Amino acid sequence: MRRDRYSFLLLAVLAIVAPLVLRPVIAAEILIFAIVAVANNIILGYTGLLSFGQATFFGVGAYISGLMIVHWDAPLWLILPTAVAANVLLAGVIGYLCVQRIGLYFIMLTFAFNQMFYFIAYSWTTLTGGEDGLPGVQRPEWLRDDLAFYTFVAVLALICLALMKRIVDSPWGRLFQAVRDNPDRAAATGHNVRLIKLTSFVVAGAFTGFAGAVYALLYGIVPVDAIYWLRSGDIVFMTLIGGSGNFFGPVIGAVFFIWLSETVSLFWNRWPMILGIVFALVVLFLRGGIVEVLARIAGVMRRRRDAG
Amino acid sequence: MTFLIVSQIINGVVTGMLYALMGVGLTLILGVLNIPNFAHGVLYAFGAYFMLAVTQLIGGFWLGVLIAPFGVVALGMLIEYFGVRQLYAAHHDYQLLFLFAVALILQEAIILIWGPVGTSILPPEHLAGAVNLGVTIYPKYRLAVMVITAAIVIALWLFLTRTNVGAIVRAGIENRGMVEVLGIDVQKVFLLTFGIGAWLAGIAGSLATPIMGLTPSMGFDILPITFVVVVIAGLGSVVGAILAGILIGLAQSLTTIWFPEAAQVVIYLLMGLTIILRPQGLFGKR
Amino acid sequence: MALLEIRDLHKNFGAVAAVAGVTLSVEQGSLHAIIGPNGAGKTTFFNCITGEVAPTRGHVLFDGRDITGSPPHRLPALGISRSFQRTSIFPRLSVAENVWVSAYGTHPLAAGAMLRHADTIPGLDERIRDALHEVGLERHAGRLADELSHGDQRLLDFAIALAASPRLLLLDEPTAGLSRSDTQMVIELVERLKGRYTLVLIEHKMDMVMRVSDRISVMYFGRLLAEGSPEAIRGDLRVREAYLGRRA
């Protein structure tokens, strides 16, 4: 538990330093996706379920936030809880349907439902702006400045991570892991496996939707890409490349992903190709993600020190 | 109105047959290798673009339909041999993610080679124009596609039920352990199955070119529909995949008449309904 | 008094009758073994009790209450716990956490304590310690379950079952696949538990069953062939035939 406290302290320090080395909007984007990736890891790393549909919740959160601002000029204290509540409901329904099936079918279902919501957003142009996106999502006065907005996001992100840490340390979190390791035994010890999976799915959906709602404010537009299933792939990528075996791993994944995409798109506009290649390499050779690399380096250094 | 409905029904069956070819390929790979092939859509897209390449470089529509799918088979087998095979020991999540990565790379490759703008291929001259069916007039080419896909399905059925190799593939779906016990090289069966699935995706892609045109994203567009076909059909059911494909094609084209915006969404509603009423799929055993 | 009663239980798989009308009752506090050659329907019978398989016909009564077809996750709360034939643990959790999962599953505070830290829930520590003590794994409490030896993992499987504080403990071939010394260890454990719990033991190793059981039911082709004390079963000609007939 003490180590976790250090990790949070380190994270807070990095969050303060970040806007000194990065453009504030990029730093904010990283933190938004850090929430999403850590939330996804509650499903993937803790519960052992691969969801290929997290963009559903990200997108719905973003559209709710965007629409409430564009049409009603609603305040944030109303928008953010609404986005969370809506996504709890949505993840409850989608999750209920998806946990009826296990393994590969679960993945295919999350993926297909993602596509369904994408098409709703894509076809309902009068509401969402369709392919062109939903523009005119103005931040409230006090967040107009990018640095102010970044600070706001950083505080929210740290709160979200702390809440999620609390959840994975709670009985729920341990039951997620029990279901991941051995669903039959978990059932035989008195636990409703589907309910536990569903809970995990809803928790992740809620935080993902929240992050989506904040994302809408970032560039003042909700692009239809926010809900496209490739975004779900991005989320899985961040989680995995950071390291799904560790609570904080996906944060590193989000940093790496946003940094890589920003850098690559500066000189080549075929970013998905690079993403695909890196993804394939990670899956083939580095399944523990960056966290594993760091652990290996630390191991080598320790051995050197011990030897020398 | 009747003529519209009738032509939409035929349209639905035609696209449905293309979905069915995709669904059958996916279900074979899923059944035998236990992987949902995320690259299945992009193989379909390559079927279309190889077709384009053949018609442009050599010329001849039917030559393209003949050659292009085998290009896709080669591509599919390469993916299996150099990628998926390396990951059999890993959890199936990683095989799936690898195939997703391959799909990304290949879709980008299409854009690099053929450009981001879509194009189309005209049907062969002898099938240009329409034929009068009494209640409606209907494009000849689409009717031809219906006949060809039906023939492919029948041929596949004969292959699976009447040949030794087909029997091995079916055994692989039912029980992979059994194949190993029989002393058959499982890796070869996997490679072959991947090849067959790729061929089906390739032929669907090449036949679809005059109907749906070519865009780099065509593979990503059809992939989720293919998944829906398999979910509705149920695991390992070839017949189910064919019927589910047609069902979805029909639902989609009939919705277009009254509520075109919902044509895509209705597919997923059908899937949701299936999961609620019959989680194992319409033809699934478990 | 009978704690567990099975009445005319049937289970068909298609045309095959795996269990074909079994009636038996398990006395409170006894160790009741169910034996039979492989393929006699023992495992299916067992799975009908644990809720993994829904019986085609017949009833399962626990403490006078009909529990036929209850899903597996409902049984611990009723006081029924089980071990698995193939060691079934949570490999990536620590030994103590493995037992925690089970203790928590029947914990009266469970619903109210959902957002505390998992390790600070009052009343669980003691149950975890007791269960680990019972099987002698306390010193491994902090280790990852995956790192334990085969035999210790089987003991952990037992500890998980015990942490639910069951009234009835169902043991599915607890010595299957174990080395000779590990088998001995498990037999001694079963003897220690005997009398304090009502135990149902599924087994095909005759020697073990004869040694520990109070009462034995012999299954053969889905039916009960004989029932009685170990001595009676040992002398039963039909049982000998069933076993020897297969071996010959």
Please state the length of chain C. 248
Does the pLDDT of residue C218 top 80, yes or no?
Answer: yes
Task: Pick C117's closest partner by Cβ from A170, A177, A185.
Answer: A170
Q: At A171, list the tokens.
A: 């009985």
Convert A270-304 into a string of H (helix), E (strand) and C (coil). CHHHHHHHHHHHHHHHCCCHHHHHHHHHHHHHHHH
Residue A308 lies in a domain: no
- H/E stretch holding C26 reads strand C16-27
CA distance A29 to A172: 29
pLDDT at position A183 is 95
Convert A16-29 into a string of H (helix), E (strand) and C (coil). HHHHHHCCHHHHHH
CB-facing half-sphere around the CA of A300: CA atoms within 13 A: 5
Burial of residue C141 (number of CB atoms within 10 Å: 0-12, 13-18, 19+)? middle
* CATH code of the domain made up of C81-165: 3.40.50.300
Nearest to C221 by CA among C97, C75, C38: C38
A19-78 pLDDT per residue, tens: 888 999 999 999 999 999 999 999 999 999 999 999 999 999 999 999 999 999 999 999
How much is the mean pLDDT over chain B?
89
> Which CATH superfamily groups domain C1-79+168-248?
P-loop containing nucleotide triphosphate hydrolases (3.40.50.300)
Burial of residue A17 (number of CB atoms within 10 Å: 0-12, 13-18, 19+)? exposed
Give the model's confidence band at A299: pLDDT under 50 very low, under 70 low, under 90 confident, else very high: confident
Q: What mean pLDDT do residues A151-173 have?
A: 95
Does the pLDDT of residue C246 top 70, yes or no?
Answer: no
**CA-based nearest distance B162→chain A, Å:** 30
User: C144: which strand partners?
Assistant: C94
Q: What mean pLDDT do residues A235-239 have?
A: 92
Measured from the Cβ of residue A92, the count of other Cβ atoms closer than 10 Å reads 16
Percent of chain A with pLDDT over 90: 68
The answer to whether B112 contacts A104, with C-beta atoms less than 8 Å apart, is no
- Chain B residues within 8 A of A90 when measuring between CB atoms: none
Residue A288 lies in a domain: no
Q: Which residue has the higher pLDDT, C164 or A271?
A: C164
Spatial neighbors of A77 by CB under 8 A, at least 6 apart, are none
What is the DSSP-derived secondary structure letter of residue A138? P
CA distance B85 to B105: 18
CA distance A49 to A197: 8
At residue C4, what are phi and psi to the nearest 5 degrees? -120, 130
Residue B282 lies in a domain: no
The answer to whether A279 contacts B101, with C-beta atoms less than 8 Å apart, is yes
- Chain A residues within 8 A of B261 when measuring between CB atoms: 123-124
CA distance B178 to B159: 20
Q: What mean pLDDT do residues A224-240 have?
A: 92
Q: Is some CB atom of chain A closer than 8 A to the CB atom of C46?
A: no
Residue A115 lies in a domain: yes
Q: At A86, list the tokens.
A: 């809506």
pLDDT at position B234 is 86
Does the pLDDT of residue A4 top 70, yes or no?
Answer: yes
**CA-based nearest distance C231→chain A, Å:** 34
The answer to whether C89 contacts A167, with C-beta atoms less than 8 Å apart, is no
Give the model's confidence band at C247: pLDDT under 50 very low, under 70 low, under 90 confident, else very high: very low
**CA-based nearest distance B126→chain A, Å:** 37
Domain count, chain B: 1
User: A222: which strand partners?
Assistant: A134
Give the residue numbers spanning the domain of A198: 2-228
- H/E stretch holding C25 reads strand C16-27
The answer to whether A190 contacts C164, with C-beta atoms less than 8 Å apart, is yes
The answer to whether C84 contacts A181, with C-beta atoms less than 8 Å apart, is no
Q: What mean pLDDT do residues C227-231 have?
A: 87
B167-223 pLDDT per residue, tens: 888 887 776 666 666 667 788 888 999 999 999 999 999 999 999 999 999 999 999
Give the residue numbers spanning the domain of B40: 2-277
Q: What is the CA radius of gyration of chain C?
A: 18
Q: At A181, list the tokens.
A: 């390791």
- H/E stretch holding A200 reads helix A193-219
B155-169 pLDDT per residue, tens: 999 998 898 888 888
**A187, closest residue in chain C (CA to CA):** C73
Q: Is some CB atom of chain A closer than 8 A to the CB atom of C88?
A: yes
Percent of chain C with pLDDT over 90: 52
B60-76 pLDDT per residue, tens: 899 999 999 999 999 99
* CATH at B47: 1.10.3470
Give the model's confidence band at B286: pLDDT under 50 very low, under 70 low, under 90 confident, else very high: low
**CA-based nearest distance C238→chain A, Å:** 36
pLDDT at position B264 is 85
ipTM, interface predicted TM-score of the complex: 0.90
How much is the mean pLDDT over chain C?
88
Residue B81 lies in a domain: yes
Please give the order of strands across the beta sheet that includes C80-82: C80-82, C168-172, C198-203, C31-35, C215-220, C223-228
Note the helical H segments in C36-94: 42-50, 75-78
Report the phi/psi class of residue A246: left, alpha or beta, with left for phi > 0 and alpha for psi in -120 to 50.
beta
CA distance B159 to A138: 61
Does the pLDDT of residue C154 top 90, yes or no?
Answer: yes
CA distance C139 to C94: 12
Q: What is the CA radius of gyration of chain B?
A: 19
Domain count, chain A: 1
**A52, closest residue in chain B (CA to CA):** B97
Does the pLDDT of residue A288 top 60, yes or no?
Answer: yes
Question: CA dihedral defined by A57, A59, A61, A66, rounded to 10 degrees?
Answer: -170
Task: Pick A169's closest partner by Cβ from C76, C113, C118.
Answer: C118
pLDDT at position C248 is 36
CA distance A74 to A82: 11
C108-145 pLDDT per residue, tens: 766 666 778 888 888 889 999 999 999 999 999 999 99
Does the pLDDT of residue A109 top 80, yes or no?
Answer: yes
Three-state SS for B124?
A: coil
Spatial neighbors of C211 by CB under 8 A, at least 6 apart, are C187, C230
Neighbouring chains of C at 3+ CB pairs within 8 Å?
A
- The single residue listed with the structure tokens 């269990």 is C19
Query: Highest-confidence range of B176-185, C62-71, C87-96, C218-227, by mean pLDDT?
Result: C87-96
B90-148 pLDDT per residue, tens: 777 888 889 999 999 999 999 999 999 999 898 888 888 888 887 778 889 999 999 99
**CA-based nearest distance C173→chain A, Å:** 16
pLDDT at position B177 is 65
pLDDT at position B272 is 85
Residue A65 lies in a domain: yes
Note the helical H segments in chain B: 2-33, 40-57, 61-82, 92-114, 140-162, 164-174, 176-181, 186-212, 218-233, 238-258, 265-277
Does the pLDDT of residue C205 top 50, yes or no?
Answer: yes
